Amino acid sequence: MAKNVRHLLGLSGGKDSSALAVYMRDRVPEMEYFFTDTGKELPETYEFLDRLEVILGKKIIRLNVERDFDHWLTIQGGMLPSSQVRWCTIQLKIRPFEKYVEENIGKDKVYHYIAIRADEDRVGFKPLKTTSLRNIIPKYPFKEDGITKDDVYQILEEKGLGLPDYYKWRTRSGCYFCFFQRKSEWVGLLEQHPDLFELAKGYEKFNSETGERFTWSQGESLEELANPERIEQIKINTEKAKASKKKEKPNRRLIEILTDIHDDEDDEEPCLICHK
């Protein structure tokens, strides 16, 4: 008997996966959209996904709702994730997706649509070594169709979706305490969601006996980063970077300048699943 074919597209709440969703809406009407919820997303992300559902005309499947970040943090013995030990991506993003495929799709062929753009040089979805899934085939429509970052902005505007509200101060989706955040984004979190900033602070650890400490942001604790003088310094640095980017390309919108600055600052590849 011929196997069925399913089409899945994972949303992060970020601009690229959202643009891909609206781009594919009429091209693959049977597309199934899913979002793996860490339980620690920004409120703006949930609001954006609700708007996206209206434009897509169908429900976005929410995975993970019972086992959030804190559940896995307990399982990990309290060891917080970092860019070197990224257990959160495996437990909260990749495994739930693979489990969903195993339980709901079985051996049917799955086309998995991934929002890597034509102007990016990145590696796509890699199944976990422990998985038995051989039926997931990645698809890169933006790469195939030559869609770049500028096209993504245009797609989002043309479809009436725009950008998530958090783009005013942060250009990546994902957990509010994500360790991939830049200094200026932490300042944004402090100013926009002081309650979430306090919760993020609560995860940081300091061992007074050994002097060891875990901080989300490299080289300083959130307590230190929240010092008014430090905030001022971070803001001055960001303004300088904005002015220099604006000089390079005067017609770009502020949001695009901010995205460019953040892209320039990245010295390691952020999480494809969380931040796309």
Cβ-based neighbours of 218, under 8 Å, separated by 6 or more: none
Q: Is 166 in the site for ligand SF4 (CB under 6 A)?
A: no
> Residue 264 CB, nearest distance to ligand SF4 (Å)?
20
Q: Is 82 in the site for ligand SF4 (CB under 6 A)?
A: no
Angle of helix 15-24 relative to helix 149-158, nearest 10 degrees, comes to 60
Element (H, E) at 17: helix 15-24
Q: Is 271 in the site for ligand SF4 (CB under 6 A)?
A: yes
Whether residue 174 contacts residue 149, with contact meaning beta carbons closer than 8 Å, is answered with no
Interface region with ligand SF4, contact rule CB under 6 A, candidates 42-50, 123-131, 172-180, 230-238: 172-180
Query: Phi/psi at 123 (nearest 5 deg)?
Result: -95, 140
Question: Site for ligand SF4 (CB under 6 A): which residue of 56, 178, 187, 272?
Answer: 178
Token pair recorded at residue 33: 């959209």
Q: Is 52 in the site for ligand SF4 (CB under 6 A)?
A: no
Whether residue 42 contacts residue 48, with contact meaning beta carbons closer than 8 Å, is answered with no
Cβ-based neighbours of 50, under 8 Å, separated by 6 or more: none
Distance CA 116, CA 141 (A): 8
Q: Is 81 in the site for ligand SF4 (CB under 6 A)?
A: yes
Q: Which of 79, 63, 132, 5 is nearest to 273 (CA)?
A: 63
Question: Site for ligand SF4 (CB under 6 A): which residue of 24, 110, 175, 190?
Answer: 175
Token pair recorded at residue 173: 């989706």
Query: Phi/psi at 86 (nearest 5 deg)?
Result: -100, 60
Q: Which is nearer to ligand SF4, 6 or 15 (CB)?
A: 15
Interface region with ligand SF4, contact rule CB under 6 A, candidates 25-33, 51-59, 60-68, 84-92: 84-92
Q: Which is nearer to ligand SF4, 146 or 202 (CB)?
A: 202
Q: Are strands 109-113 and 136-139 parallel, antiparallel or unpaired?
A: parallel
Q: Which is nearer to ligand SF4, 89 or 221 (CB)?
A: 89
| Nearest residue relative to ligand SF4 (C-beta) | 174
Residues 10-49 as x/- pattern, contact with ligand SF4 by CB under 6 A: ----------------------------x-----------
Question: Site for ligand SF4 (CB under 6 A): which residue of 20, 88, 110, 156?
Answer: 88
Q: Which is nearer to ligand SF4, 31 or 88 (CB)?
A: 88
Angle ∠(273,177,217) on CA atoms, nearest 5: 105
Question: Site for ligand SF4 (CB under 6 A): which residue of 9, 101, 115, 274?
Answer: 274
Whether residue 35 contacts residue 13, with contact meaning beta carbons closer than 8 Å, is answered with yes
Token pair recorded at residue 110: 């799955």
> Residue 211 CB, nearest distance to ligand SF4 (Å)?
25
Q: Is 257 in the site for ligand SF4 (CB under 6 A)?
A: no
Binding interface with ligand SF4 (CB under 6 A): 38, 81, 86, 88-89, 92, 174-175, 178, 180, 271, 274
